[in-house]
Structure 1
Amino acid sequence: MKILIKNGTVINHDRSEKINVLIENDQISALTKDEPSADKIIDATGKLVMPGLIDMHVHFRDPGFEYKDDVITGSETAVAGGVTTAMPMANTNPVNDNSAITKAMIKKARDRGLIDLLPIGAISQDCKGAKIVEMGDMIEAGCVAFSDDGLPVTDSSVMRQALEYSAHFGSFVINHSEDCSLCHGGVMNEGRVSALLGLKGMASEKEEIMVSRDILLAKKTGGHLHVAHVSSAWSLKLIDQAKKEGINVTCEVTPHHFTYDESELMGYDTNFKMSPPLRTNADVEAMREGLKSGLIDVIATDHAPHSWDDKFVEFDKAPFGILGLQTLVPLTLKLVDEGVIDYEKMVALTSYNPAKILKLSGKGEIAVGKLADIAIIDPELRYTYDAKLNKSKSQNSPLFGKELKGACVLTIKSGKVVFDFPNVVA
């Protein structure tokens, strides 16, 4: 089947141009000013044609917590946000710490046929931080990286082994950077706002101490460390120094950490409760500057669905986590509107850089011969993010019911249309 996308602006990490895209079967076969014949024609006038987004940090809650989300609804939520490749974390039940679970997750996603699901295996068995998993078997089964996300690897010798073994297999480690011995029981950023609210805080040093340790272990082993959901300005300073020293470190930031600060919690809204927590306005500005300068490699959502019952409790008792897949595009486009990044940098952060880190040679660009994973984005579309649009089983987003600007209006995966924005524009 041939699909022609015409009249759109094609955005790559290094260039933008008004050009038509011809897709044949599952690949991009031509970029042309002409209008060749096709079985399906998509008019993208006024829209941006970007490579399918790659989210390096999601939680699909499958297996074990399917009442929150599962691989099926996770896939549907992903493509509704323009994400065609997603990496679910291992903190499921049972934990994804063996090849059988990895294969089952991949098969479930493949059977649904919406996204490429690239599982992140646990670093340690049952995420208990004591003994590393059989990384070779799990990579052979389809894992692309290793993380006990949700729990840090506190034993430095275990983390060292993980960095050494993952490097041996050409993979890498993603650590949840948190020194749990500091600020035990904290529920938000430690500072003026936590004092006003009477809530126990989590000092930014809780993150920075672990980032520092892991950087030193990456230096020692030569392994690749990817720092998840950076939230602290000092964490970025440590990462910047590590990169300048030639240490193999990459990092990601979430839309909520470059958009919101701790003041959002003044209303005790549990949908703003996350780990790491929303920090100060100075930290938010540091995230934005890191995106602008190129210090931050990736934007990832840390999409973390929780049911209404989970979140509708006292703030101290509510779980950490926020939905992110369907708000990734509007919150990132807001950075463009505010002059922090441009469209090309947006593609680099959400598609090209993740593809490079993951060694996915067929993804991350709109170019002849690349896989036809494409997100068509309307940067001006205004709509209400609500139950009509939400594809997740959960609704734990502070943006639920709010008007947003900018959305993925059509998603193509391997040459097939897998999402089309419904006609429910506010």
Structure 2
Amino acid sequence: MELLIKGATVIDPRNRLHRVMDVAVDHGVITGVHPQIDAALAERVIDATGMVAAPGFVDMHVHLRDPGQTHKEDILSGCEAAAAGGVTSVICMPNTNPPVDSEEIISYIYDKAAGAKAKVYPAATITRGMRGTELGDFSQLMAAGAIAVTDDGRPVENARLMQECMELCAALRLPVISHCEDLGIIDGGIINKGVVSADLGVKGMDRSSEDSVTAREIALAEATGSAIHIAHVSTKGSVRTIRDAKRRGVRVTCETAPHYFLLTDRELRSRDANLRMNPPLRERADVAEIIAGLVDGTIDAIVTDHAPHTEEEKADFLTAPNGVVGMETSFAASYTALVDTGILSLDHLVRLMSLNPAKIMKLGDNSLREGNPADIVIFDPKERWTVDREKLHGKSKNTPFHGRTFTGKVKMTILGGNVVFTDHNWGR
């Protein structure tokens, strides 16, 4: 065998596995997961004693800025960041320049990603050019390799178009992702509408913007029997609406990001534009409900909404574009906030970051089953480290977590049997 991971605590929710095991890899696939595998048979041995091996993380909400804004990020640099965070698969959002609304752009993404350090799956736009007036040809986009559709970065404002999209995509079994935002309610707001926005004298983004469109999408899904995935949930109202819909059997799934359960809008008193994103940081009651939604299964996945911007763009608090980077810190931030505190089990966190997003995006059996691609993350659950924006691997450094100390560190990422990231001296 080419590679043997020795003595790791293997966590694989799909196969209900949580025990110390050895993992054998040969020709890019997993060839064995057993309590003892002879190290003499391996060309390379990874002594992972005291560490955890799990299926590689799947980040189903990433902006790679490619094509069109590659000064911020590109497919290759974004995948460098992914590998450093234990992410082996990313779904890239289509609000590029030009938008991902054609076979040509989809082919461009796959061609450029061929040598990347993560698997890249493009989502295509719901409407042509993201103009909100005409649906794309979903059959054609799917045939070209699109694995989902969304106008993320903007809502589909026309409810009739959104309903038609959901009905067409249900027939194709093509996931639909909704960016839930009422632009009329937002009306130029830049942070959460509340005490902090009033104190800072800036226009706020009322949570009713997210809540109202979340409710609309659920109503459309219920009326048509279609599935809908709600992106970057940030409000207590959205969590409660989704929870109720799931209880009624509506086919709705959703995601959130670490900044929505670790930070509040109080952080924005610093006027640091690296804490501005859309949807914005909310209040303590929202954070509490996001965490409750993660605990009870209302929220299905943890993503990053990785959105790179340059230092120059983020220099002015009032005019900076929204968005933060997050792939390199997502696991550690989530582990620190949820597992180290006893809120979630580590198995549950791996499910949220690996199994569930792969299932929602129909990426197949993302597990450590024999015969599967060897996409594996190895992490140290006890290592404490401090985020240094200058050491991040992507082009842009706009992290909201600079200077914060987390527990849990990715030590190796394996993609298709190849080591694409390492932060440890592994010996032979």
TM-score range, shorter chain: over 0.9
Alignment equivalent of 1:41, drawn from 39, 45, 50? 45
Distance in 1, matches of 2:89 and 2:397, equals 22
SS at match of 2:298: coil
Distance in 2, matches of 1:318 and 1:343, equals 36
8 Å CA contact 2:85–2:328 kept in 1: the answer is yes
SS at match of 2:328: helix
SS at match of 1:406: strand
Distance in 2, matches of 1:344 and 1:228, equals 23
Distance in 2, matches of 1:48 and 1:238, equals 35
For residue 399 of structure 1, what is the aligned residue in structure 2?
401
Aligned residue type for 2:159: S
8 Å CA contact 2:75–2:116 kept in 1: the answer is no
The answer as to 2:334 corresponding to 1:341 is no
Distance in 2, matches of 1:108 and 1:230, equals 31
Deviation per CA, 1:96-142, whole angstroms, max 9, x where unpaired? Answer: 011110111011111x2421111110110111111111111111111
Distance in 2, matches of 1:115 and 1:141, equals 20
Q: CA deviation at 1:61?
A: 0.2
The answer as to 2:67 corresponding to 1:96 is no
The answer as to 2:285 corresponding to 1:282 is yes
Q: Unaligned 5+ residue runs, structure 2?
A: none
Q: CA deviation at 1:360?
A: 2.4
Q: CA deviation at 1:277?
A: 0.5
Aligned residue pairs total 420
For residue 81 of structure 2, what is the aligned residue in structure 1?
77
Aligned residue type for 1:311: K
For residue 30 of structure 1, what is the aligned residue in structure 2?
32
Deviation per CA, 1:282-337, whole angstroms, max 9, x where unpaired? Answer: 10011111111111100010000000010001x22111001110010111111100
Alignment equivalent of 2:370, drawn from 368, 371, 377? 368
For residue 297 of structure 1, what is the aligned residue in structure 2?
300
For residue 56 of structure 2, what is the aligned residue in structure 1?
52
Distance in 1, matches of 2:349 and 2:236, equals 21
Q: Unaligned 5+ residue runs, structure 1?
A: none
For residue 120 of structure 2, what is the aligned residue in structure 1?
117
Q: TM-score, normalised by structure 2?
A: 0.96
**Distance 1:233-1:66 versus aligned 2 partners, 3 A rule:** same
Distance in 2, matches of 1:15 and 1:240, equals 28
Aligned residue type for 2:360: I
Distance in 1, matches of 2:306 and 2:274, equals 12
RMSD value, Cα: 1.3
Alignment equivalent of 2:189, drawn from 178, 181, 186? 186
The share of aligned pairs that are identical, in percent, is 40
Distance in 2, matches of 1:251 and 1:362, equals 20
The answer as to 2:175 corresponding to 1:172 is yes
For residue 206 of structure 1, what is the aligned residue in structure 2?
209
SS at match of 1:317: coil
Q: CA deviation at 1:35?
A: 2.6
8 Å CA contact 1:60–1:88 kept in 2: the answer is yes
8 Å CA contact 2:389–2:399 kept in 1: the answer is no
Distance in 2, matches of 1:197 and 1:15, equals 50
8 Å CA contact 1:171–1:224 kept in 2: the answer is no
Q: CA deviation at 1:401?
A: 4.0
Distance in 1, matches of 2:368 and 2:130, equals 38
SS at match of 1:19: strand
Distance in 2, matches of 1:79 and 1:352, equals 17
Q: CA deviation at 1:165?
A: 1.3
Distance in 2, matches of 1:44 and 1:388, equals 28
8 Å CA contact 2:412–2:424 kept in 1: the answer is no
**Distance 1:422-1:59 versus aligned 2 partners, 3 A rule:** farther
Deviation per CA, 1:190-235, whole angstroms, max 9, x where unpaired? Answer: 1111111111111111100000111111112222100000001110
